[in-house]
Structure 1
Amino acid sequence: MTVESPAAAHARGAAVIGPIHAPKASEIFADLLRQKILDGEFPEGQPLPSERSLGEQSRLSRAAVREAIGILKQQGLIVSKPGRNGGSIVTRPTSQELVASLQTYVRSQGWGADNRTLLEMREIIEPWCAAFAASHRTDEDLQRIRQRLDQASASIDRVEEYVSAGLSWHAAVADAGHNVLLSAFMSAASTPFLSAADHGRYDSLKARKSTLKTHKAITAAISDRDPQRAFDLMARHVQGSEAPLLENLATTLENDTAATG
């Protein structure tokens, strides 16, 4: 009996069923445990049942159970605690783990400081970071922002140090808004900008002085607890000499419409 290949069946117009990729038992079990953890059936700080018990309950091999637990460890939902009362303890991912995960993703993309995705993210997020900082900052937050500003001012003649201090200032502004997600995104996005310290935008002393002046104005708005002024100043700052994002989107749409006629 000759078995017809999918390509031959497709060529004669017959319905074709492609290969089926079934998930591994360990992945399915990891999904089940993850859902129970997120639903609170396994509260934070509580140890999971032993591998033997989980294997008996699920009727999976110890190897599959161990692999499922390993998946959850990578996701920051379980930590291993040694000792007599140790085992697999339920936990929650920390903000540091979130930042590390985002940084790994951004670095793996090989994006530079002029990457469109990063620039769009900054234009969307940073004005709100400044507004939240003006609204939510503490005296300690303001002190950190001013310290980063002073560091940038002191290194105005040294490009790499200046850019590093400037990015630290942006991070301090994001942190002052007390929104973990915004801070994580800003921290992850800083790496490509830091690695491009010789970027043309900062080559001239005039440009560095202009940026520092803007940072000072935004810091003053944050100090005055003026969210609208902080938002507007940061929005103009991250747009730089480029057209604002909405203008770019409108232009792209017009061009696409004209091309498709």
Structure 2
Amino acid sequence: MNGAEDRLATVLRPVRAGNGFEEALEQILQVVRLGLVPDGERLPAERELAERLRISRVTLREVLKVLADQGLVESRRGRYGGTFVRARAAGSTGPAELRRRLGAVDVEDTLRFREVLEVGAAGLGASHGLTPDQAARLRAALDATRDAPLPDYRRLDTLLHLTLADVSGSATLAAQYAAVRATVNDLLDCIPLLVRNLEHSQRQHAALVEAVLEGDADGAREVMREHCRGTAALLRGFLA
């Protein structure tokens, strides 16, 4: 399984009978909102998506049509065709959009739940120890965030945190984290990227990964708690 497939496996899982359309739509929306497939790049082929989600191609096409109608993806024909993630328009987080997003989510509850999941994932990963493959994935995700161009930073930061959740050993925790992170990303998109904050975050990331790899559960939990609270403070400051 390559790196892209690893990232998608955190979110794309077989849906339950009865709500196939709704759950498939939720999961593919998360793929887009989390940046697991960057703007302008192609989603996996319909056959692969249908197999991962265990839905029919007909249901999948209905899901993709909804996303296209919402301006989130576009279909292209030809040899290099497929379904591509559309770049978000500049200025999409103006005052009206900010009010909409804040009205659709309980910010404090989201931030608290995010902290609980992240701290728990860091502790679990450090406690049970990582396989060589998991350790390599975690190091690679950390390396990708170093010196990342500002436009790519949040996407790569998200992938690092998703990897930490995924190597926790709890598929349920990883799925819950993917959902809450999508909401957090909607909020983060409403505030500016601050270089000073990113430098601080990178130091925390490095300490966090080191603690997980060394099996220091208490240290991993403490670094992650501090990291989450720093992000929460920024969001509260800008969104209040």
Q: TM-score, normalised by structure 2?
A: 0.53
- Structure 2 residue runs without a partner (length 5+): 1-15, 35-99, 234-240
- 1:130-152 residue CA offsets vs partner (Å, 9 max, x unmatched): 01111232221121111111111
Q: Which 4+ stretches in 1 moved above 4 angstroms?
A: 96-99, 101-104, 109-114, 196-199
Match of 2:114 in 1: 122
Match of 2:160 in 1: 169
Q: CA separation in 1, counterparts of 2:127 and 2:19?
A: 33
2:215 is the alignment partner of 1:225: yes
The alpha carbon displacement at 1:154 in A equals: 3.0
Match of 1:146 in 2: 139
Task: State the one-letter code of the partner of 1:232.
Answer: E
Q: What secondary structure does 2:146 align onto?
A: helix
Match of 2:201 in 1: 211
Task: State the one-letter code of the partner of 1:131.
Answer: G
The alpha carbon displacement at 1:192 in A equals: 2.8
Give the root-mean-square deviation of aligned CA atoms. 3.4
Task: State the one-letter code of the partner of 1:153.
Answer: R
Question: Are 1:221 and 1:230, in contact at CA under 8 Å, matched by a contact in 2?
Answer: yes
Q: TM-score, normalised by structure 1?
A: 0.49
- Match of residue 183, structure 1, among 159, 174, 177: 174
Q: How many percent of aligned residue pairs carry the same amino acid?
A: 24
Q: What secondary structure does 2:139 align onto?
A: helix
Q: CA separation in 2, counterparts of 1:132 and 1:193?
A: 22
Question: Are 1:118 and 1:189, in contact at CA under 8 Å, matched by a contact in 2?
Answer: yes
2:27 is the alignment partner of 1:100: yes
2:78 is the alignment partner of 1:134: no
Higher relative contact order (CA 8 A, sep 6+): 2
Question: Are 2:141 and 2:156, in contact at CA under 8 Å, matched by a contact in 1?
Answer: yes
2:65 is the alignment partner of 1:73: no
- Structure 1 residue runs without a partner (length 5+): 1-71, 77-95, 244-261
Point out the structure with max Rg over C-alpha: 1
- Call closer, same or farther: CA 1:153–1:138 in 2, change over 3 Å: same
Count how many residue pairs are aligned between Structure 1 and Structure 2. 148
